[in-house]
Every structure is written in C-alpha cells, then in structure tokens.
Structure 1
Amino acid sequence: MSRRTVVIAISVLAVVGFAVAAFFYDRASTVPQATAPVPQNSALERFNSPSFGPANAPVTIVEFFDPSCESCRAFYPIVKKMMSQHPTDVRLVLRYVKLHKGSEEAIRLLEAARKQGVFAPVLEAVLEAQPQWHDDAQASAAWDAAAQAGLDVAKAREQMVSPEITATIERDAADAKTVGVSGTPTFFVNGKPLTNFGAQQLYDLIWSEINQSR
C-alpha cells in the first residue's frame, strides 16, 4: 500500500481527531505541554529540539515533520492519542523538514511561538488550519490561526528572522539528510526507524519499546 493511500485512510481518522480537538481547544488538558530540552546532540535529537512528554520517558519518538505536510497533519491526533494512553512512558521530539511552498514560513512561525511560550497551542491551531494555507508561500491563514491561539504576531514577525531560527532550520535539514529522511512524516522510536508506514505499525513499535523498558 502506498504512503498516499495510507494517508487518505488516516485523514478520515484525522477529521474526527481534529473535531474533538477543536471542541476542547481552550481546555489546557487537551494541549500537550512542551517539556524542557533534554541534553542530546545527535542527528536524531538535538538538545534544543521541541519536545512533549516527560524528559525521563523510556520511549522517545522522533518525528521529522513538515507543518505544511498533509500526512503530518493526519498523524498529529493519532500520535497525540498514543501519548495520552502512555503519559509517563512516551516522549515526542519534533524535527523540521521543509518540503512545500509554505513550509519555511510556518516553521519560522512555530519557532517564534516557541520563543513566546505558546508552541503547543499554536502548533495545534496551525495544523488545524493547514488546508487553508499549505499552498500559500506566506502561510497567511497559519498566521491568522496562530494569532487566535495566543501568538503575538508583531513580535513573531521580528523573531522569525533571527539567526538562531535560521540555524535551527539549517541544522534540521542537515540532520534529516544524514539519517536518510526522504518524506514526511518519518518516525524513529528509540532510534529505530518505522520501516512500514502506518498508524498501527507506529503504535506496535511504540508498544514494543514500552514493553522492553519494563
């Protein structure tokens, strides 16, 4: 089964997932909370990569993702559900890959949101609004969604062009090439690549690593 076929099937689940997320959007319990960076420095995980979940979780998912990627949007509520089912066992680390017209704009927006301490709600809002902006180089609808989620847009416009954010984008691009990322989302669980793409396959790999840690 091709990745595109899998994505179409997963998108049906994603619609339900985002509907639920939208209903509970302003309740803090539905938004994953970003955690402090963990001292790591490898092509898979850098010390300042954005992450969710407990720092000492026995299982770390590294996802190379593009905020403009429809597959990444489809997988977001699925990964979120997996983490909610294993809140003390699983940690998610996000790495950026820019493959689409509006990707870099959205990545810079998200990194500015991280500087402002609103990364999680802005990420959810940007992904939910993705159908309205992912072919737009300026990602205008993403900015509108981010503003509604709490982003100070004027400040973010200044922050997004910082050398630090540029370095993050360049570093993640180099690391993606190093580990052989050719599309998004690409998952690694405790360093092991998800070789068969799919939601169930990802869950099986996560569950296997949880069992091995016990």
Structure 2
Amino acid sequence: MNRRTNIVFITAVVAIAAFASAVFLYQRHERERAFEQAQAQLGILVRDHSPIMGPERAPVTIVEFFDPACEACRAFYPYVKQILAAYPKDVRLVIRYTPFHREASVVGVQILEAARDQGRYQHVMEALLEAQPVWASHSVNAIGRAWEYARAGGLDIERARAHAAAGSAERMLEKDMVDVKAVGVRATPTFFVNGKLLPSPDPRVLLDMVKAEVENKR
C-alpha cells in the first residue's frame, strides 16, 4: 500500500468514525429530548379530576386518552383490564376523556361520571363498552339507549340524570380537551406509561412497557 492509498484509507476510516459518532450523539440527544418531553408532559397527563382505576399511589401509571364511543377503546379494554389484574399493587390506570365522537362521546362521559359519583365506575364502563355497537352506532341514532345499558351496570338512572344535568361532565371535558390539544392526541386510544408514549397500538407492546416499568420500580 503506497503513501497516497494509505492516506485515502485513513481519511475514510476517520470519516466513518466521525459519522458513527455523530449518529450516536444524535440518538442520545433524541432519547434525552424524548425523556424531557415525557417529564414535562407528566404534569398535564394526570389531573386531580381524572378517574383512576387501581391504587392511587401505584408506581406505574398508564394514562389512556379514552372515548367511550370509540371502537378501538372497546377492543383494547380487555387487555388493559388484564394488565391491571396482573399488577394489582403496581399499576394504576388514569382516564382522560377524548370526545372525538361528539354527542355519543359526551353522553358516554356523562354516564361514566355519574357512575363514578355512585361508586359504580368500572361496572358501568364495562356495561357501556359491551353494548357500544348498539348505542354508539354510526348508522343508527340510538345514543339514548346508553342509559338503559348503564342501568344494567348498576347505575341509579334518576340520580345519574340529575348529575348529568348539573353539567360537571361538560366542565371536565373542557379541561381534558385543553390537555388533549397540548399533548397532541389525535386518535383514541392513546396510551402513555409513566409519561412515555406507546409507540404503536399493540396490546403486547403496552404489556411489555408496563412490565419493564414495574420491574424498574421494584
């Protein structure tokens, strides 16, 4: 190898090393930026008014931007329930209402908040989700039937309608929509696990993220 070839070779090695170093620094910067964003978002992901399922002081928090009229939320719920059952002391679920289906969403939230007031939140949620294809149908206006299905979940309808008439659900929705826009949520369900965005709508990925956070906290 002559002197000129040797110089070219060394220059190429240096260039590759510089490129690899730049990629490493960029990736580290992106990880740090993502972590900082997640930490900054923690303050708006969880609010005092938000419904919680699971221990209030659990070390791992799943935040779900949720719409009771959303088909994908309905499909995801059994997996979320399994995760809560698998980690009864370690994981809590925080619900953030995201009314992307308009009237059906608002009625669903009214019912859920009335159920929370009566201590029947999870029971009524499951009743609504089970019957969602009927009352939240896009082709048939059957939104009023949501109240019937909520009754099957143990809801006192008279008390619930009075609670809804007071407007507390609408006030909560206004607050939640401010955070929905701030976080940039555009679809439901959207999940965060201890402030980290679920990268893909896959129950297995959600379970893996939760498991990793639980193990990290123990």
TM-score by length of 2: 0.76
Q: Which residue of 2 aligns with 1:45?
A: 46
In structure 1, stretches of 5+ residues that fail to align are: 1-40
Query: Residue 190 in 1 paired to residue 191 in 2?
Result: no
Structure 1 vs Structure 2: percent identity of aligned residues?
Answer: 47
CA contact (8 A) 1:102 1:138 kept: no
Structure 1 window deviating more from structure 2 (153-162 vs 119-128): it is 153-162
AA paired with 2:60?
V
Q: Which residue of 2 aligns with 1:36?
A: none
Report the CA distance between 1:138 and its aligned residue: 5.7
Residue number among 169, 172, 180 corresponding to 2:173 in the alignment = 169
TM-score by length of 1: 0.77
Report the CA distance between 1:69 and its aligned residue: 0.3
Q: Which residue of 2 aligns with 1:54?
A: 55
Query: Residue 154 in 1 paired to residue 158 in 2?
Result: yes
CA contact (8 A) 1:96 1:107 kept: yes
Report the CA distance between 1:127 and its aligned residue: 0.6
Structure 1 window deviating more from structure 2 (60-69 vs 106-115): it is 106-115
Report the CA distance between 1:156 and its aligned residue: 1.2
TM superposition outliers: structure 1 runs of 4+ over 4 Å:
none
Q: Which residue of 1 aligns with 2:185?
A: 181
Report the CA distance between 1:164 and its aligned residue: 2.6
CA contact (8 A) 2:64 2:189 kept: yes
Q: Which residue of 2 aligns with 1:12?
A: none
CA contact (8 A) 2:60 2:90 kept: yes
CA contact (8 A) 1:43 1:176 kept: no
Q: Distance in 2 between matches of 1:142 and 1:163?
A: 18
In structure 2, stretches of 5+ residues that fail to align are: 1-41
Residue number among 187, 206, 211 corresponding to 1:202 in the alignment = 206
Q: Which residue of 1 aligns with 2:32?
A: none
Superposition RMSD in Å: 1.5
- Alignment deviations for residues 140-160 of structure 1 (CA, whole Å, 9 cap, x no partner): 232111112211112211211
Q: Helix, strand or coil: the match of 1:102?
A: helix
Report the CA distance between 1:124 and its aligned residue: 0.7
Report the CA distance between 1:83 and its aligned residue: 1.1
Query: Residue 129 in 1 paired to residue 131 in 2?
Result: yes
Q: Helix, strand or coil: the match of 1:43?
A: helix
Q: Helix, strand or coil: the match of 2:191?
A: strand
Q: Distance in 1 between matches of 2:142 and 2:166?
A: 17
Pairing 1:36-115 to 2, within 5 Å after superposition: 42-100=43-101, 101-115=103-117
CA contact (8 A) 2:134 2:142 kept: no
Rg (Cα) greater in structure: 2
Q: Distance in 1 between matches of 2:196 and 2:141?
A: 34
Structure 1 or 2: larger helix share? 2
Q: Distance in 2 between matches of 1:50 and 1:187?
A: 15
Report the CA distance between 1:137 and its aligned residue: 5.7
Q: Distance in 2 between matches of 1:171 and 1:42?
A: 14
AA paired with 1:52?
M
CA contact (8 A) 2:51 2:94 kept: yes
CA contact (8 A) 2:106 2:170 kept: no
- Alignment deviations for residues 167-196 of structure 1 (CA, whole Å, 9 cap, x no partner): 101011111111110000000000111112
